[in-house]
Amino acid sequence: MSQTTARFINIGERTNVSGSAKFKRLIVKEDYEAALAVAREQVENGAQIIDINMDDGLLDGEMAMTKFLNLIAAEPDISRVPIMIDSSRWDVIHAGLQCIQGKGVVNSISMKEGETEFLEKSRIIRQFGAAAVVMAFDETGQADTEERKVEICTRAYHLLVEDGFPPEDIIFDPNIFAVATGLPEHDNYGLDFINATARIKQDLPHARVSGGLSNLSFSFRGNEPVRRAMHSVFLYHAIKAGLDMAIVNAGQLDIYDDIDPELRTAAEDVILNRNAEASEALLELAEKYRGGAVTGTASRRDLSWRKDSVAERLKHALVRGITEFIVEDTEEARRASEKPLHVIEGPLMDGMNAVGDLFGAGKMFLPQVVKSARVMKAAVAHLLPFLEEEKQLAGLADMSNGKILLATVKGDVHDIGKNIVGVVLQCNGYDIIDLGVMVPCETILKTAAQENVDAIGLSGLITPSLEEMIHIASEMQRGGWDKPLLIGGATTSPTHTAVKIEPAYSSGSTTYVADASRAVGVVRTLLSDTDRVPFEKQTREDYARIRQSHKRGHSAKPRIRLEAARSRAMKINWAGYTPPRPKTNQALVFDNWRLEDLVPFIDWTPFFASWDIKGRYPQILDNPVVGAEARQLLADGKKMLEQLVAERWLQPRAVLDFWPANAVGDDIVLWADEARDQRRAVFHTLRQQMPKDTGKPNFSLSDFVAPRETGLHDWVGGFVVSAGHGEAERSERFRKANDDYSSIMLKALADRLAEALAEALHAKVRRELWGYASQEHLTNVEMIQEKYHGIRPAPGYPSQPDHTEKRTLFSLLEAQSRIGVALTESCAMTPPASVSGLYFSHPESVYFAVGKIEKDQVEDYARRKNIKLAEAERWLAPILSYSR
């Protein structure tokens, strides 16, 4: 995969009332919850920015934009991606800029009303730290030819840059127009855009290029197979020319090579204007595809491939992950070869190279690649005795493309993503030294030196891992290392890598790797004699721009003072409210929860995400791009789940308790008994400090507990659950049997069962053990959508980002002695397939994200917890609004 392709950004288009009838209907009906689901689906389908447009005659655009963006701010799974405020009305854009958190994008401004107004708007955008989409539109009109596009964009670029607008925040839209309209003057529109993109990228440093993709295929509306093919073909050529991003439906793109060749050629003829009859030919061909795509997928039981040569059979088995015949085919190849090593160097490596090429091109997905690795390992395992006999194992080692050390950093126990990366790199000929989890810095560097590795990869899931990665980078700098450092994991990001990690390690290169699909391209480039230097130079320049942008974003988004935030706390009317009393006030331990009873509570959506297949279940099963693989993955998962349940591979365990509690300021005080005159423990909470213009409160978890001064006898609950007991041993058994696919599958299922146990236990709490919702009858879908009464927020997550609050919870519950779940020094739970949290019963309690906080709150928090300011800043580093 090229670096250009890897950096392409999908802008989700479905949260646009002008382009989506469904979204418009929801907004007009003010069904904002369903509208949020549309935005969430866009993110899950791969959108890295979501475009939001409220321009419609039936709407108050300013009000709708403000309300929707404020709702998004409280949805971490949506607000983790940047927002593009899309409107033709400046008042709507300005209102939107005041709502979004982090760095946003304005779509759009142009010079159609002259340079003065253009620059005035750009200065306001700059004050908010946002980027701007600049349309190729001037006082004369929209640019339609290549020359006009380049001319207008060049003029706008120099005006903005000379006025102080950061060039990396300029995103040009040179106008994608419809092709194949029947008018000859439109025939070159596709090629004009592609050529203009290449010139803009070459001549206007650091600027980006975007476009609205749906315009291209307007002539074929109603014929989705043809539209998808046109979009994919256009992107294939435009991205190579330098297109950085596009407004697309991320779940409705076909893989270029998977498009029917006849349709692909016809679409390419139109987009590149290769002949005068291209439009007519595509219009004629389009009728063949109206109503659905023409596809054909070979059945796995089609054994015609068994008639091919042994080399082709091995390649077929590797690409399709078929182990059924691998031993006999490998043996046949060995008998026909001079040496067993030649089988590995020849047909097996040819097959794995094909796998790597298909994966890099986006034609295979991670589960398929892991299955291919299982086939490869089975073949090599068959050959190993013969290799040992001929003393050729050293020759096998010589085949390596490089040696990579991977480790989950100290204090962190999560390794699914790291394991997948390791398998993918092995499939591409790299030797992997996997040190496992909770690996201290000294072990990582000592092993890397002893093994003379070519690169070091660090992984982590919990936020304290970010600080450990900075420490390792600093130690590499102090030790004079120059090996490439790779950063990955759920809590990592390009921004954190650029702002915190890369500056600590200037003697070598630091590269953020978003997921396994990027790993091979990044490693191959970093270990290349010719490509490494320019790639590292480009990465450093990119990270320098990210740091500048981050700095501007911080200065553009001040927080309110803690005192003011507290004055805007949620005002619950406690008069007349009687807090429900739990049915028990003693800790309860569950050691015998039946696995089969947890299966109905499973949320399958994160299961697919753990395999880097993004999308909401069950819709993902019908996704035109990943649907087939998602269905196969689900079938494999359910097959293992059935065996797991029947044979009791895992032992679900849980502990919970309830405590008398009251809020004292931003603290939740737990009392020793119901007399409430002696403190037992305190949960410390954090309060939102973002300014809110809509009258919405600045939440803290303490808001949902009756204040001490009310005299009310309120309660808070806590829990720890795990489905991880037994997982590590069986996963390791699979791994030693060269079955990485089953090993990773088991880890993913254990995670799902732990979350299912947390969901099932919460339902039991609401209906029986606390009993405040005894008449509740919710489906699993409704529980996943959090339709229940009360909440169960977890320390270390958006509502309370401080992981150290788990220490209080675990101590109160005696979680380690009662159910065998412990905390690492970084407050990660072990076994990893574990979940913990608090229970709140008030009907107005809601989930929220604290967001960035100011130093005055950190100082206050440190005083309340009786810890040093530096320690508080270390644990809260990811949410600090200031630099330490």
Tens digits of residue pLDDT in 418-461: 877 887 787 777 889 999 888 999 999 999 999 999 999 999 87
User: What is the mean predicted confidence (pLDDT) over 805-832?
Assistant: 95
- Under the banding of pLDDT at 50, 70 and 90, the label for residue 758 is very high
Is pLDDT of 161 > 70?
A: yes
Give pLDDT, residue 372.
81
**Picking from 333-342, 473-482, 520-529, 593-602, which range would have the lowest pLDDT averaged per residue?**
333-342
Distance (Å) of CA 816 to CA 585, 819, 836, 839, 870? 20, 6, 13, 20, 29
Is pLDDT of 395 > 70?
A: no
Give pLDDT, residue 506.
92
Strand pairing report for 485-488 and 510-512: parallel
Give pLDDT, residue 652.
96
- Spot the catalytic one: 79, 108, 465, 834: 465
Strand pairing report for 714-722 and 105-109: unpaired
Is 412 considered catalytic here?
Answer: yes
* DSSP annotation string for 798-856: TTB--TTHHHHHHHHHTHHHHH--EE-TT--EESSSEEEEEEB--TT--------B-HH
Give pLDDT, residue 298.
30
Please report how many Cα atoms fall inside a 13 Å half-sphere around the Cα of residue 710, on the Cβ side: 22
How far apart (Å, rounded) are the C-alpha atoms in residues 186 and 629?
39
CA 287, 292, 298, 299 dihedral sign is negative
Return all residues near 729 (Cβ < 8 A) that are at least 6 apart.
none
**Picking from 333-337, 714-718, 754-758, which range would have the lowest pLDDT averaged per residue?**
333-337
Give pLDDT, residue 713.
97
Tell me which residue of 765, 761, 784, 736 sits closest to 840, measured CA to CA. Answer: 765
More confident residue, 592 or 250: 592
Give pLDDT, residue 9.
84
More confident residue, 359 or 433: 433
Is pLDDT of 295 > 50?
A: no
**Picking from 172-176, 246-250, 757-761, which range would have the lowest pLDDT averaged per residue?**
246-250
Q: What is the pLDDT of residues 467-483, one digit of tens each?
A: 899 999 999 998 899 99
- Spot the catalytic one: 412, 434, 454, 714: 412
Which residues are bridge partners to 546 per DSSP?
none
Give pLDDT, residue 566.
96
Give pLDDT, residue 781.
86
Contact 38/72 with Cβ under 8 angstroms? no
Give pLDDT, residue 876.
93
Give pLDDT, residue 251.
52
Mean pLDDT of the chain: 88
Contact 751/610 with Cβ under 8 angstroms? yes
Q: What is the pLDDT of residues 781-798, one digit of tens each?
A: 899 888 899 999 999 989
**Greatest mean pLDDT among 304-318, 463-477, 661-675:** 661-675
User: What is the mean predicted confidence (pLDDT) over 690-701?
Assistant: 87
**Greatest mean pLDDT among 54-68, 98-112, 217-231, 385-399:** 98-112
**Greatest mean pLDDT among 479-493, 549-563, 717-731:** 717-731
How far apart (Å, rounded) are the C-alpha atoms in residues 818 and 588?
10
**Picking from 289-303, 313-327, 441-455, 486-500, which range would have the lowest pLDDT averaged per residue?**
289-303
Q: What is the pLDDT of residues 102-159, one digit of tens each?
A: 789 999 899 988 999 999 999 999 988 899 999 999 988 889 999 999 999 999 999 9
Is 465 considered catalytic here?
Answer: yes
Other CB atoms within a 10 A radius of the CB of residue 239 amount to 19
Find the helix or strand (DSSP H, E) in which 447 lies: helix 441-451
Residue in the block written with tokens 């060995």: 334
How far apart (Å, rounded) are the C-alpha atoms in residues 133 and 84?
9
Tell me which residue of 790, 786, 787 sits closest to 842, measured CA to CA. Answer: 790
Please report how many Cα atoms fall inside a 13 Å half-sphere around the Cα of residue 176, on the Cβ side: 23
Residue in the block written with tokens 């395992």: 381
Give pLDDT, residue 252.
63
Strand pairing report for 714-722 and 834-839: antiparallel
Give pLDDT, residue 507.
92
How far apart (Å, rounded) are the C-alpha atoms in residues 647 and 644?
5
- Spot the catalytic one: 382, 414, 496, 803: 414
**Picking from 50-59, 741-750, 834-843, which range would have the lowest pLDDT averaged per residue?**
50-59
| DSSP state at residue 212 | B
- Burial track 715-730 (b if 16+ CB lie within 10 A, e otherwise): bbbbbbbbbbbbbbeb
Instruction: Give me the phi and psi of 394, to 5 degrees please.
Output: -60, -35
Give pLDDT, residue 414.
74
Residue 605 DSSP SS3: helix
Residue in the block written with tokens 């409704």: 782
User: What is the mean predicted confidence (pLDDT) over 359-369?
Assistant: 65
How far apart (Å, rounded) are the C-alpha atoms in residues 235 and 4?
12
**Picking from 215-224, 455-464, 622-631, which range would have the lowest pLDDT averaged per residue?**
215-224
Q: What percent of the chain has pLDDT over 70?
A: 93
Contact 595/645 with Cβ under 8 angstroms? yes
User: What is the mean predicted confidence (pLDDT) over 149-170?
Assistant: 95
Give pLDDT, residue 492.
86
Is 110 considered catalytic here?
Answer: no
How far apart (Å, rounded) are the C-alpha atoms in residues 425 and 420?
9
Residue in the block written with tokens 């992981």: 803
- Under the banding of pLDDT at 50, 70 and 90, the label for residue 300 is very low
Q: What is the pLDDT of residues 468-526, one digit of tens each?
A: 999 999 999 988 999 999 999 877 888 889 998 999 999 999 999 977 667 888 999 99
Give pLDDT, residue 299.
31
Give pLDDT, residue 115.
93
**Picking from 57-66, 348-357, 688-697, 844-853, which range would have the lowest pLDDT averaged per residue?**
348-357
Is pLDDT of 366 > 70?
A: no
Q: What is the pLDDT of residues 237-284, one digit of tens each?
A: 999 899 999 887 655 667 777 788 999 999 999 999 999 889 888 988
- Under the banding of pLDDT at 50, 70 and 90, the label for residue 301 is low
- Under the banding of pLDDT at 50, 70 and 90, the label for residue 361 is low
Contact 252/160 with Cβ under 8 angstroms? no
Is pLDDT of 67 > 50?
A: yes
In this structure, the chain runs to a length of 884
Contact 674/718 with Cβ under 8 angstroms? no
